[in-house]
């Protein structure tokens, strides 16, 4: 009896998690998949099996343009997040020797998360707007004669907003992986006569790759589904796949929105698999 | 797995079977039969004596009307309870269509009806039970208004969707019947709002939205079915294209108007597109935008920040919207009686006066008048100069003494409506093209 209980124990332990996953992740995604084949008659969706939603998406110029635009955001945001996060984490991990200060400075990086997403974005308006602080400064210094328009409601603003929002998701994992690097390895490299750059390239970067990969997964998946930042910072003029889906849901076109969601999920998964192909996270953890 | 005994498997199997059977039984007992069948006897007539105290009516609607002051007054006057949910126009329609069990009263707009009514979720309102039905503004009930422009207005004009053919019908009737879809209670004529201090001149035509002088300083709505109407007004006024019916565009017309919009976007005519009320207020107060499609309370909100904002009459006319109350098909017995009582109370005038002080019109202006001060009536409905400061229902000063309402009197403003908010036959195509415009 106790033996069988022992054998069942691990299964009992995973049951709650499995149920939660099935109920709140697998089941809804299956529903979306099913609905994406349904028909829509103007005011209600009707069970059917039609490929029309997918045909519409794959034959439309809009989808291609919107995906390209979304990829543009993904690449830019990912690049700038990495460009900011790596030096920040490096500084925290290797230059701040005092552990107390390390924790304080790390917590400082989370400050943007102390207010809601929407408020963080709206507060850019008085800063970047036509009558905003930056423009007043530029006008005051006589650097420009007319207020600069592209600071707000532009691709620049969208990327800025998202880098601001998601940078921490990159800093966290990279900082974590840098902290776990055995300091003796660096000392050894120094003893062998490696220059600072060589140490960075040959020792630190390879060992930080898992952190970079995890951070990249966070940033890429978040940006792929993003629509609030795109709407508010882009002034409604920029397109992303998330925003496309939101507009379709708003107009009750559930099956079309579901089909778009399925494709978005597939594309995002491909990107994640791609990242995992490059870096074996499991091995590094 | 080999360690699991045979007995264990049998026991688990039995337990699972029992659980399965139990849930099956439980669920079968809750499946609903059609009303009137033995499985679900329809409610027999009940005597309503003081029972309405226990009634709770669940309302869904847009934020415009879901105001706590109105709810509190309704509770005090009627004695039953309310559960109100403030939603966006889109969510409101979604729930009305897909979740009929979640509401008793639908507070929605007329242009939503071509989507909501065919779902069969609304119970037609018996107009004989509406005390002052005959006094409702005639463009709702008969489509007439002293021969003014509004009688020929394009779009989902309320009269087109006001009546259904019978008590259980889902079909609109072109002529008045005893069965109404919504009982109107608030509506307005919308136009462009602008900051005269920043435009430097009076704006008198929708065409000005495309004026190169305001390049990068204009905005329109990013709600396809309303934004396209404003765009159509602008394009037609600017002489860029003509429509047979702006409220029901053909595919070719949609193609043409989106091409115009795309071109203007490329030229940098628009500063932004807004989706919510607050966004339009922010755009205007921050000076990012000087001329844009706007809703009347948003203009009021800009003014209350001490900025001058005009909701000017345009020579081409107004785009109107109208909202009303509809009944859920689930209502019966005292719930239904209570719902009728509520509708009658809404029309009685107190609410009309309350909303009137914000610039909305009441379905029965003469009833609202009973609850307004003469100088308020003169300002809001007659277009006369304010004899005293105009105060909104929340105690904020809106207009100083001597001010005039933009656009004039009720007759002038509503009479000059040329198009109503619409749901078009080509809705799906419109949406596709709108997304194309946003992505361009």
pLDDT for position B275: 84
Contacting residues of B for A238, CB less than 8 Å apart: 438
How many angstroms separate the CA of residue A132 from the nearest CA in chain B? 9
Task: List the Cα angle A123/A128/A130 in 5-degree steps.
Answer: 120
Contacting residues of B for A239, CB less than 8 Å apart: 435, 438-439
Q: Name the CATH superfamily for B51-187+321-367.
A: Periplasmic binding protein-like II (3.40.190.10)
Whether B41 has a pLDDT exceeding 80, the answer reads: no
Distance CA A177, CA A281 (A): 11
Name which of B218, B220, B226 is nearest B320 in CA terms: B226
Whether B66 has a pLDDT exceeding 80, the answer reads: no
**What are A57-94's pLDDT values in tens digits?**
898 888 888 999 999 999 999 999 999 999 999 999 99
Among chain B residues, the shortest Cα distance to A45 is held by B98
Task: Tell whether domain A61-284 is in CATH 2.40.50.140.
Answer: no
Q: Which residue has the tokens 């110029």?
A: A61
Give me the residue from A60, A130, A243 closest to B287, CB to CB: A130
* Cβ atoms B183, B131 nearer than 8 A: no
How many angstroms separate the CA of residue A262 from the nearest CA in chain B? 18
Go through chain B and tell me how many residues it has.
440
Query: Which of B103-107, B276-280, B323-327 has the least mean pLDDT?
Result: B276-280
* For residues A221-226, average pLDDT: 94
Using the Cβ of B6 and the Cβ atoms of chain A, whether some distance falls under 8 Å is answered with: no
Contacting residues of B for A132, CB less than 8 Å apart: 286
Contacting residues of B for A6, CB less than 8 Å apart: 3
pLDDT for position B40: 43
CATH code linked to domain B192-316: 3.40.190.10
Pick from A71, A237, A246, A254 the residue to mutate for testing the B interface (most B CBs within 10 Å). A237
Go through chain A and tell me how many residues it has.
285
**What are B155-211's pLDDT values in tens digits?**
999 999 999 999 988 999 999 999 999 999 899 999 999 999 999 999 999 999 999
The token duo for B90 is: 């889109």
Using the Cβ of B12 and the Cβ atoms of chain A, whether some distance falls under 8 Å is answered with: no
pLDDT for position B26: 40
Helix (H, G, I), strand (E, B), or coil: what is residue B293?
A: strand
Distance CA A44, CA B121 (A): 11
Q: Which residue has the tokens 């002529």?
A: B175
Contacting residues of B for A129, CB less than 8 Å apart: 286-288
More confident residue, B340 or B438: B340
**What are B78-112's pLDDT values in tens digits?**
988 888 888 888 788 889 988 889 999 999 999 99
Q: CA dist B215 to B199, B270, B314, B417, Å?
A: 11, 7, 20, 28
* For residues A275-283, average pLDDT: 83
Contacting residues of A for B428, CB less than 8 Å apart: 40, 42, 253, 256
Whether B336 has a pLDDT exceeding 80, the answer reads: yes
DSSP string covering B126-164: EGGG-TTGGGS-HHHHTS-STT-GGGG-BSS-HHHHSEE
Among chain B residues, the shortest Cα distance to A133 is held by B286
The verdict on a CB contact (< 8 Å) between A61 and B436 is: yes
The token duo for A46 is: 């009707």
* For residues B291-302, average pLDDT: 88
Whether A244 has a pLDDT exceeding 70, the answer reads: yes
Global confidence as pTM: 0.79
The verdict on a CB contact (< 8 Å) between B286 and A131 is: yes
Give me the residue from B3, B225, B286 closest to A126, CB to CB: B286
Q: Percent of chain A at pLDDT above 90?
A: 53
Using the Cβ of B90 and the Cβ atoms of chain A, whether some distance falls under 8 Å is answered with: yes
Q: Which residue has the tokens 């390879």?
A: A206
User: Starting at the edge strand that comes first in sequence, how are the strands of the sheet with B125-126 ordered?
Assistant: B125-126, B179-180, B163-164, B172-173
B276 confidence band (pLDDT: 50, 70, 90): confident
CATH 3.40.190.10 domain residues, chain B: 51-187+321-367, 192-316
Burial of B37 (0-12, 13-18, 19+ CB in 10 A): exposed
Phi, psi of B83 (to 5 degrees): -130, 105
Using the Cβ of B305 and the Cβ atoms of chain A, whether some distance falls under 8 Å is answered with: no
Query: Which of A147-151, B45-49, B56-60, B239-243 has the least mean pLDDT?
Result: B45-49
The verdict on a CB contact (< 8 Å) between B270 and A251 is: no
More confident residue, B4 or B309: B309
Under 8 Å CB pairs connecting chains A and B tally to 110
């Amino acid at each position: 009896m106790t033996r069988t209980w022992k054998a069942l124990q691990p299964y009992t332990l995973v049951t709650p998690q499995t149920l939660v996953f099935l109920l709140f992740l697998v089941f809804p995604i299956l529903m979306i998949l099913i609905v994406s084949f349904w028909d829509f008659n103007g005011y209600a969706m009707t069970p059917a099996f039609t490929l029309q939603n997918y045909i519409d998406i794959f034959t439309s110029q809009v989808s291609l343009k919107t995906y390209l635009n979304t990829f543009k955001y993904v690449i830019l945001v990912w690049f700038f997040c990495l460009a900011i996060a790596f030096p920040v984490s490096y500084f925290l991990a290797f230059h701040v020797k005092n552990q107390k200060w390390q924790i304080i400075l790390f917590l400082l990086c989370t400050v943007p998360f102390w207010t809601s997403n929407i408020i963080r974005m709206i507060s850019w308006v008085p800063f970047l707007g036509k009558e905003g602080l930056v423009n007043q400064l530029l006008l005051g210094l006589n650097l420009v004669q007319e207020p600069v328009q592209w600071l707000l409601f532009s691709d620049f603003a969208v990327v800025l907003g998202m880098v601001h929002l998601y940078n921490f998701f990159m800093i966290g994992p990279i900082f974590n992986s840098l902290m776990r690097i055995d300091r003796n390895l660096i000392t050894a490299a120094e003893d062998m006569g490696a220059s600072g750059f060589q140490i960075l390239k040959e020792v630190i970067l390879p060992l930080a790759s898992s952190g970079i990969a995890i951070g990249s997964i966070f940033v890429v998946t978040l940006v792929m589904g993003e629509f609030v930042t795109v709407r508010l910072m882009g002034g409604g003029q920029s397109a992303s796949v998330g925003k496309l889906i939101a507009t379709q849901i708003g107009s009750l076109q559930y099956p079309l929105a579901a089909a778009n969601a399925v494709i978005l999920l597939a594309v995002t998964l491909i990107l994640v698999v791609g990242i995992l192909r490059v870096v074996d996270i499991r091995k590094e953890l | 797995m080999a360690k699991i005994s045979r007995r264990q498997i049998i026991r688990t199997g039995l337990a699972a079977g029992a659980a399965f059977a139990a849930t099956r039984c439980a669920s079968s007992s809750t499946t609903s039969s059609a009303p009137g069948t033995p499985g679900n006897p329809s409610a027999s007539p009940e005597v309503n004596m003081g029972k309405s105290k226990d009634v709770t009516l669940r309302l869904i609607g847009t934020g415009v009307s879901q105001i706590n002051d109105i709810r509190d007054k309704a509770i005090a006057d009627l004695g039953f309870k309310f559960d109100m949910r403030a939603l966006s126009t889109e969510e409101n329609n979604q729930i009305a269509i897909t979740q009929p069990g979640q509401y008793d009263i639908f507070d929605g707009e007329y242009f939503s009806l071509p989507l909501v009514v065919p779902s069969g979720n609304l119970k037609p309102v018996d107009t004989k039970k509406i005390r002052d039905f005959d006094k409702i503004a005639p463009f709702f009930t008969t489509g007439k208004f002293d021969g003014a422009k509004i009688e020929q207005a394009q779009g989902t004009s309320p009269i087109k969707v006001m009546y259904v053919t019978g008590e259980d019908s889902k079909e609109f009737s072109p002529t008045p019947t005893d069965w109404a879809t919504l009982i109107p209670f608030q509506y307005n004529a919308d136009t462009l709002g602008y900051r005269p201090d920043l435009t430097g001149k009076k704006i008198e035509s929708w065409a000005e939205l495309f004026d190169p002088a305001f390049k990068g300083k204009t905005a329109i709505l990013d709600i396809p079915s309303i934004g396209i109407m404003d765009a159509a007004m602008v394009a037609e006024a600017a002489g860029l294209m003509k429509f047979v019916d702006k409220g029901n565009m053909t595919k070719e017309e949609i193609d043409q108007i989106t091409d115009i919009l795309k071109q203007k976007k490329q030229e940098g005519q628009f500063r932004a597109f807004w989706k919510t009320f607050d966004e339009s207020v922010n755009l205007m107060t921050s000076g990012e935008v000087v001329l844009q499609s706007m809703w009347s309370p948003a203009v009021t909100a800009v003014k209350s920040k001490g900025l001058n904002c005009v909701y000017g009459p345009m020579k081409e006319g107004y785009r109107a919207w109208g909202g009303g109350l509809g009944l859920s098909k689930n209502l019966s017995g005292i719930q239904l009686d209570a719902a009728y009582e509520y509708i009658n109370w809404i029309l009685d005038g107190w609410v009309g006066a309350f909303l009137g002080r914000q610039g909305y019109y009441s379905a029965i202006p003469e009833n609202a008048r009973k609850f307004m001060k003469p100088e308020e009536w003169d300002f809001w409905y007659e277009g006369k100069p304010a004899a005293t400061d105009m105060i909104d229902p929340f105690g904020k000063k809106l207009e100083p003494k001597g001010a005039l309402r933009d656009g004039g009197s009720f007759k002038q403003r509503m009479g000059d409506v040329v198009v109503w908010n619409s749901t078009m036959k080509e809705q799906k195509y419109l949406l596709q093209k709108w997304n194309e415009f946003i992505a361009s």
